[in-house]
Amino acid sequence: MDELNEDFPDTDLTMVIGANDTVNSAAEEDPNSIIAGMPVLRVWKSNQVVVMKRSLGVGYAAVDNPIFFKPNTAMLLGDAKKTCDALLGKLKQHYEE
């Protein structure tokens, strides 16, 4: 994770698919969180973050994820596979024109 975390500040866009606890900023920003100190991917340090999840529900640790509400994060709710397939289709269509 450390190697990857070094890259996030220089990353234009990070797409998070279905993850919750492994990208939860509360692990580093909230010393009172039950996940405080847990190693996480610091995706919130990217310029933009798109999180694909079925809902805004909590993950395995049952902890709210503050990145969902950060100004650089967009939530794309729904079935992640269908969403990825649709995005890929649009990208292919765009670049074939």
10 has catalytic annotation: no
Choice among 21, 64, 79, 85 that is catalytic: 21
45 and 9 in contact (C-beta within 8 Å)? Answer: yes
- Three-class DSSP labels, 28-51: HHCCCCCCCCCCCCCHHHCCEEEE
Residues with catalytic annotation?
21
